[in-house]
Each structure stands twice: as structure tokens, then as C-alpha cells.
Amino acid sequence: MAADSIALAVTEAFARLPKRYKPGLRSNGVHEWIPLAGIVLEKEGLPLYCISACTGSKCQAQDRIQISNGNIIHDSHAEVLAIRAFNYWLIHQCADLARSLENSSLYLKRRENSHVTKFSPQPFTIRADVKIHLYCSESPCGDASLELSLERQEDSTPWGEGPERGPENLLGHSHFGEVGVVRRKPGRSDSPNCLSKSCTDKLAMHQCTSLINAAAAPLIHPENAYLHTVVLPTSSKLDSCTRAFSQQGRMSPIAESSKLNWPLSFAFKPFRIVLTTLDFEFSRADPKVKYTACNRTAIYSPLFQEAIINGMVQGYKAGNIRFFASLDDSATVVSRV
């Protein structure tokens, strides 16, 4: 499938959201920008189906998570939210199949009884002829965008190295001389400390564990739940992406170990990286324009739409237990998945 078609499916889905979900022009004339990511399903004979279109560039500081007792979304980067919303949709597909006597879903099906075992108990699986694509309007944060991020800064020199190199110090662009390593968010040196891994590292992990998260894992077998394609803008550095994701780069040891037959149909299944010429409306495409990051996160799904600010659905305070207690089948929030 052409990269532009996948990108268009996501950007058009986002365009259908109300204006309040989108970045705007501030009173001082500065344009807000935001990364967009979305999951698109491809099945022969059917139009592309956008399952999620999410924006976001924020993650919660470690001390804030402790205060809220974990009742907030820790990582609101667009790629992470797009995968969470995809899992939410999968769970609803399973519920529909459970209520039906037939395999009525175009994208999921019941597994054969002979395939359901004690060590492989999931009753459902994604159909084998379904391809899963991910579109990102920006290169994922972390190792895959390290050089690109530095080029975009007014001062392209790396941050000061600070303390001796260690896992706790690999934030954003620190220790820039070390590539191909796991990094943590945030990307800014002046941001509060956070424990979330970069989107590069999370996507690299999904090449081994599939897109199925803990909430959907008891229901859906992972065999067909791997990304087929990741679509990135032409500004992306392909050498950096090859280093970050491929078996020719830092995933080489994993690729070798996966040949030893991992359990439960898990395997190293690298995705293809393709480039799109389409620009997202709210990206930083014009070098002459002054931009600032938008603090609003938007989530589109065929099942629901919502805005998230500081890890909570807009209108609620972080850790508001009354909000979670009031949720029912008609009140949806991607933080539940």
C-alpha cells in the first residue's frame, strides 16, 4: 500500500475532529504544533480503515505519577496513544464476536478449538490477511530521531553530558555520542524527570511482543498483531531508523535469538519503513514560522473521541477517583487500556 494513502487515511480521520481538539494560533502570533500518529488496517478488497488518529507530545513526571496514585496516562506521545486506542478497539471487536455465533468481524476471528491450549488460551486472533500500518507525522522520539532533533535546534550542539553515563542519565539528547541505546523521555533537558522509554524503544519492542497490550493479551493471540509498515515524513533520517529498528542495526542480537523459537508465537518481525510526501497540517513544516508545542492531546477512534490534558480526560483532575468510578460502557477513555 502506498505510503501517501496510509498517511491520508490518518490525517483525514483527524481532520474530522472538532476544532477544540486541534492546535491553534496563540494570541502572540505563535503557531501551535503537535505530532500525529495513527493505526490503519489494510485488507484486500476493502478501503483502508483508520482505527486511531492521536496527537500528543507530553509525558508525566515521575513525582506527578506518585501523587496521582497512577490514575493518569503516563505517556501521551502520539504513537503510544495510537496503539492504546487500537487495543481498545480490539477489545470491543472481541466483545462483538463473543456475542455473535458467527465470525462476523472483517478483521478478527475466533481461533480453532484445537489451537486454544493452556499455554495459548486466547480465543481470538487478527485475521492473517490483515496488514497493520502505523503513520507518524514526526520521526519517533529517541534514537531514531536523535540527529534530526539536534539539527532542528537553534543550537545544534548536544546537551552537556552531565553525570557519568548510565541508564538513569540517558535523557533526550544527553550523551549524544552514544547511539543505538535505550533512551528515556523527555527530549528537553529542562523538563522534569520521567521514567517512560522513548517511542523509538517502544516501537522496537513491539517488533518482538506485537501490538497487543496487557489489557487485550488474555483475549487476542499475538501471531498476526505485528506492524507491517511504519510511514514517516521525508524529513526522517533513514540511516537513524535502520540503526534503531532493523536487524542490520541494534536489533541484530534479538533477530538471532528469535530464531530459537520464542514461546507463544512471539518472534522478531521487523516492520518496513516507508516515506510519505504528505505534510500534516499541524507539523513544523515551515521553517519561517515560529512554533510552540501544543499541550492538548486528541484521540480519534471509530468508537470514541476525547481530549486529554496532563494525562487525564479534559475536564477532570489527575487522580480523580470519582471519574473512574463513574465510567460505564458508554463512557470511554483510552487510559483504561
* Catalytically active residues, by annotation: 79
- Cell representation of residue 177: 555520542
Distance, C-alpha 79 to centroid of its chain: 2
Helix (H) or strand (E) holding 7: helix 3-15
What is the sign, positive or negative, of the torsion defined by CA atoms of 321, 325, 326, 332?
positive
- Give me the long-range contacts of 312-319 (CB less than 8 A, separation at least 24): 312/72, 312/73, 318/64, 318/67, 318/68, 318/71, 318/72, 319/67, 319/68, 319/69, 319/71, 319/72
Q: What 3-state DSSP class applies to 225? A: coil
Q: Cα dist. 330→33, 89, 318, 319, 326 in Å?
A: 31, 14, 21, 21, 10
Q: If you ran DSSP here, which 8-state letter would residue 197 be given?
A: B
8 Å CB contact between 48 and 3: no
Task: Please choose, from the candidates 75, 84, 30, the residue with its C-alpha nearest in 3D space to the C-alpha of residue 56.
Answer: 75
| C-alpha grid cell, residue 129 | 490477511
Helix (H, G, I), strand (E, B) or coil at 246: coil
Secondary element (H or E) of residue 95: helix 78-99
How far, in Å, CA of 310 to CA of 14, rounded? 20
CA distances, 200 to each of 64, 184, 230, 265, 332 (Å): 24, 10, 12, 23, 28
Estimate to the nearest angstrom the gap between the alpha carbon of 155 and the chain centroid: 29
